[in-house]
Amino acid sequence: MAFHHTQKAFRTILDALSFPGKINQLDEGEIDMESFNSKTALVCETLLDSEVTFHVIEEEQSITHILRAFTGSHLTDLNKADYVIIPQETSIERIINSLSLVKIGNLANPHKSATIIFEVDSLLNGYYYELTGPGIKIKTELNCTIHPEIIEKRREINVEYPLGIDFILIDSRGNVVGIPRTTQITEVM
């Protein structure tokens, strides 16, 4: 049943965001959303509906049509979207430019901020980062292909806590990692 599927996916996402840096595994998604990783599709199916808005960092129109059809969610401008989806092939420059535009909430309503669903190449190797913050016992490590410039951009955006953005990272193997705004990331050289 589809609802058991999204229930399980939700618990995986919840676990990921509750324990930043922890590698969780998503099940195979049931809906095929073309260019999206099937796990990304599952995350969208789990979180999106007609009460929220989304934006995909991509020129193509087809994927937004599919997302709308499957979730009932509304496509909107980047600076208004509740969920911003970054497909895997997006260039670093494009990601950084896009992130500067997403909403970060306001002091009375810090929850009115964007959640970034970010397809990355790998969450098991690449750059080496150290994470600290709530949900992490002392510190933890994350090995991922996200470029340090993107991490730096995130830090700039999240500088005025509680304002900021939360990341759900998904790699091509279906690993998922949550990085809420409270997580401090430093690159380990």
Partner 1 sequence: MSLFPFAFLDEQSKKEIRRAVLKGVAIPGYQVPFASREMPIGRGWGTGGLQITLSLIGESDVLKVIDQGSDESVNAVNIKKLVQKTTGVETTIHTSEATMIQSRHRIPEVPLRNDQIMILQVPEPEPLRHVERSEFKTKQMHAEKEYSGAYLLLFEQIMRYNQTSQGADYPVFVHDRYVMNPSPIPRFDNPKIHQSEALMLFGAGREKKIYAVPAYTKVKSLAFDDYPFEIEKFEGKFCRATGLSNVFLDEFTDEETGETYYLCNDTSYMQEYLDQKRGI
Q: Which stretch binds partner 1 (CB under 8 A): 30-38, 43-51, 54-62, 123-131?
A: 43-51
Binding mask 90-129 for partner 1 (x = CB under 8 A): ----------------xxx-xx---x--------------
Decide if residue 70 touches partner 1 (CB under 8 A). Answer: no
Nearer to partner 1, 30 or 60 (CB): 30
Decide if residue 69 touches partner 1 (CB under 8 A). Answer: no
Tell me the residue length of the chain.
189
Task: Kindly give the residue spans of alpha helices, DSSP state H, lying in the chain.
Answer: 2-18, 38-47, 62-71, 92-99, 148-157
Beta pairing class for 53-56 and 83-86: parallel
Nearer to partner 1, 65 or 112 (CB): 112
Please report, as a single letter, which amino acid is at residue 131: L
Decide if residue 17 touches partner 1 (CB under 8 A). Answer: yes
| Per-position b or e across 2-14, b if 16+ CB within 10 A of its CB | eeebbeebeebbe
| Per-position b or e across 24-46, b if 16+ CB within 10 A of its CB | bebeebebebebbbbbbbbbbbb
Decide if residue 49 touches partner 1 (CB under 8 A). Answer: yes
Positions in the binding site for partner 1 (CB under 8 A): 1, 3-4, 6-8, 10-11, 13-14, 17-19, 46-47, 49, 51-52, 106-108, 110-111, 115, 134-138, 161-162, 166, 180-182
